[in-house]
Structure 1
Amino acid sequence: MRTPSVRPFLTTRGLVPENQESPVHYIIPETTEPRFHFRRNHFAYPSLSPLSYWLQVEGHVENPLWFSLQDLLALPAVTVPALLECAGNKRGLFEPVVYGEQWEKGAISQGYWTGVPLKTLLEKAVVKEGAAEVVTIGMDRGKRPGTEGSVSFARSLPLEKATHEDTIIAYAYNDRSIPFKMGYPLRLIVPGWYAMASVKWLRQIRVSEESFTGPYQTEDYVCYPDKDSDEGAFPVTEIKLDSSILQPMQRAILPSGSHTIHGIAWSSTGVIARIYVSTDGGTSWSEAELDPEQVGYHWTRWSMEWLDVQPGNYTILSKAVDASGAAQPETAFWNRNGYGYNAVDRVEVKVEE
């Protein structure tokens, strides 16, 4: 009898709205298949009709425009290798614990995004002098706790980031149309920033002279360092330098002998210079081997051979260093919303005879 294949599954953090964690420990290919891509939503999925779909560009521009999907497909396209990481990735590791979806290591995925640079659309609309931000609004909307009525998911980017050559209006993922649950028909992709900036189901682009004050800009996706006040608050923007040990997994029981420790590392630029691994809780460190091909904003794979391991309890750590010389911190910057956890990664294992 043929042995059935075994496949990983998403880890459910919520159903309405749907929030699912990627089985990142078991994903070997460079790109994440759509069925394994993490899902982060604030509302139920929107209703849409691609046959009557138009993208509006308006606000502080000389020439307000509407673009159909066919219009966008006719424009020169670019492909950007980029990972998306939820700002709350690893929230469940914070100490003291914080409220919110208790993501572990799987609120991160990556692939190749194809579309039109946002800059191209803004140039066609002719941005007026004095513009400060570009607001992007999705079709998903609903009731947000603490806010009266329903609101759309909307975010803004400073003009400089909105006009960066790698900030795109994507319509394809890994050479196919973006799946509905990932933002079909159009999704903003902002490489190097946490994924809340990459607005899904995009319906409107608005150029503004003023700072946007929507709740997902000035209340959520803001770091509050103080437990009881808003003092010192600052917005969530660029992805922090980080690494994850993917194998062995936390609390694994291993046989004695030799093993391969492997994982991933990433940053806002994608450029990882070195990875250090400790198998004795940080007393000593060894440099891991990096995958020689670093692609765009994708993560970098790394591995280290752990030889002749004897029975006992072990704490394995990984620490990334980027091209600027910056290193992962020993302790994550605590904030009450639980964003941007990036402490040196830690896995505890037991080795038996």
Structure 2
Amino acid sequence: MDLRDEAAYDRLRAAQWRARTAMSRRALLRISATAGLGAAVGGMAPRPAVATAAGPIVKPLPPELFVVYGSNAEMRWEAMRGQGYHTPIDRFFVRDHTSTPLIDVRSWRLRLFGSGLHGSPTLDRAVEFSYEDLLGLPAREISAFIECTGNGRSFYTTQQNQQVSGTAWKLGAIGVARWRGVPLSVVLDRAGLTKHAVDVMPRGLDPDYVDAGTNHGRVRRPIPVAKALDDALLAYEMNGRILPPDHGFPVRLVVPSWVGISSIKWVGDIEVSDAPLFSPWNTQYYRLFGPGYPPEGSAPVARQVIKSALELPWNATLSAGRTTVLHGRSWSGHGPVRRVEVSTDGGTSWQRARTHGPERPGGWLCWEFPWRPDGTGPRTLLARATDAAGTTQPDTAQYNTLGYLFDAVVQHPVTVA
């Protein structure tokens, strides 16, 4: 069984945990909602005095680049036109549960603890790394997307007439950057990883998240140790620059191809456990709920789904009788995108787009399609991708009440004049 597949991992480890503790899933959910980090540590452990509140978002959010939703901001896709492969920092989306903290890197420490490490079972006996310590470790650079699990959520309502909850993202909660940092595997090895470890749970230094009057503590979510050892990165640079505050300074986790909640920002500590770990972010949230799913929801969502986006304003006006080159990007959490097709007649016919640039896992594929529209009036443009696993974007996304993982072909309206 491949424990890098979180669905398989969750089924196996949850079953083992229930057998060992004789707890029901309902009891686990109750514990995770209130304690989060488990009895050995406690979900409300004191926070190191290194973070101060800044504001919901620190960087400028000009309206020509972003659509703002409180503490979140999505990139306008037309702002990516001509920007090259990587998303510039000034237009990389921001997803915060609370607000961006400003952290004093001189006093910041990354602390690792838990039953999955030799000699560091509790937070007060943690192995510590300073910022300078991390800079001195072997580094790696990767290009990878980070994407909010709810990216595309609004289309459940506008295209499928289904009610969902959460931020009404279109497709702009995605960005690809060059991340440089230390492989998480290196830090785990230095901290004394045991062969019995199964879960790794990073926790951020952003303010506690309160939902409906319940304080869930700081954002944290476990990943399987196999995924942590495979390609997870503790990043301290983004596109060749020091990591900006909104994107996780001083250090964030980057978990390629997985949903954005796995890539915890502002990491302050990491619990490593020889038993499954639970938090609200893998029990109450980031599971699929609704018709067709069990009452406790699906296994925690892991890999991202396949999507395509046009680098074109919503409701753009194009000229009749004149060739316009449509540009866009497609990506998938299940491998490189191999083919992109475009329809300019609402899905009646499809033609292959010209692709260019790298085809790499964890990134996106750039493409273009020349179109000379006849006549005038409203039109609907569609783009659909097929990835290396053979998955093609469907016409309809499978419904879930929290609006996660929208993968259907998006209907992009334009007017020909």
TM-score under structure 1 length normalisation: 0.91
1:76 to 123, 134, 138: 138
Counterpart position of 1:145: 211
The answer on 1:32 being equivalent to 2:81 is no
Deviation of 1:269 after TM superposition, in Å, equals 4.6
2:413 to 333, 348, 351: 348
Deviation of 1:8 after TM superposition, in Å, equals 2.7
Q: Map residues 116-135 of structure 1 onto 2, 5 A cutoff.
A: 116-135=182-201
Counterpart position of 1:19: 72
Counterpart position of 2:315: 251
Q: Map residues 180-195 of structure 1 onto 2, 5 A cutoff.
A: 180-195=245-260
Higher deviation after alignment, 228-237 or 73-82: 228-237
Contact 2:65-2:79 at 8 Å conserved across structures: no
Are residues 35 and 302 of structure 1, via their aligned partners in 2, closer, same or farther at CA, if it must alter by over 3 Å?
same
Deviation of 1:281 after TM superposition, in Å, equals 1.5
Q: Which runs of structure 1 show a deviation greater than 4 angstroms over 4 or more consecutive aligned residues?
A: none
**CA distance in structure 1 between the aligned counterparts of 2:119 and 2:235, rounded to whole angstroms:** 22
The answer on 1:239 being equivalent to 2:304 is yes
Q: What value does the CA root-mean-square deviation take over the aligned residues?
A: 2.0
Counterpart position of 2:155: 93
SS at match of 1:343: coil
| Unpaired stretches in structure 1, ≥5 consecutive residues | 1-5
| Unpaired stretches in structure 2, ≥5 consecutive residues | 1-61, 121-126
The answer on 1:173 being equivalent to 2:238 is yes
Contact 2:97-2:209 at 8 Å conserved across structures: no
The answer on 1:105 being equivalent to 2:105 is no
| 1:278-303, Cα deviation, whole Å (9 max, x unpaired) | 11121111000111423552211111
Contact 1:225-1:231 at 8 Å conserved across structures: no
Are residues 314 and 114 of structure 1, via their aligned partners in 2, closer, same or farther at CA, if it must alter by over 3 Å?
same
SS at match of 1:103: coil
Contact 2:317-2:414 at 8 Å conserved across structures: yes
Contact 1:81-1:296 at 8 Å conserved across structures: no
**CA distance in structure 1 between the aligned counterparts of 2:76 and 2:140, rounded to whole angstroms:** 29
Contact 1:318-1:345 at 8 Å conserved across structures: yes
SS at match of 1:221: coil
**CA distance in structure 2 between the aligned counterparts of 1:47 and 1:245, rounded to whole angstroms:** 35
**CA distance in structure 2 between the aligned counterparts of 1:47 and 1:254, rounded to whole angstroms:** 44
Equivalent AA in structure 2 for residue 74 of structure 1: G
| 1:31-67, Cα deviation, whole Å (9 max, x unpaired) | 2222211111111333532111111111121154210
Higher deviation after alignment, 303-312 or 78-87: 303-312
**CA distance in structure 2 between the aligned counterparts of 1:226 and 1:81, rounded to whole angstroms:** 37
Larger helix fraction of residues: 2
**Residues matched between the structures, number:** 342
**CA distance in structure 1 between the aligned counterparts of 2:346 and 2:264, rounded to whole angstroms:** 39
Deviation of 1:143 after TM superposition, in Å, equals 4.0
The answer on 1:61 being equivalent to 2:61 is no
Contact 2:150-2:406 at 8 Å conserved across structures: yes
Deviation of 1:270 after TM superposition, in Å, equals 4.8
Higher deviation after alignment, 89-98 or 44-53: 44-53
Larger strand fraction of residues: 1
Are residues 175 and 19 of structure 1, via their aligned partners in 2, closer, same or farther at CA, if it must alter by over 3 Å?
same
Contact 2:64-2:76 at 8 Å conserved across structures: yes
Counterpart position of 1:136: 202
Q: Map residues 223-302 of structure 1 onto 2, 5 A cutoff.
A: 223-226=288-291, 230=295, 232-247=297-312, 249-257=313-321, 258-295=323-360, 297-302=362-367
The answer on 1:325 being equivalent to 2:408 is no
**CA distance in structure 1 between the aligned counterparts of 2:362 and 2:294, rounded to whole angstroms:** 35
Counterpart position of 2:104: 49
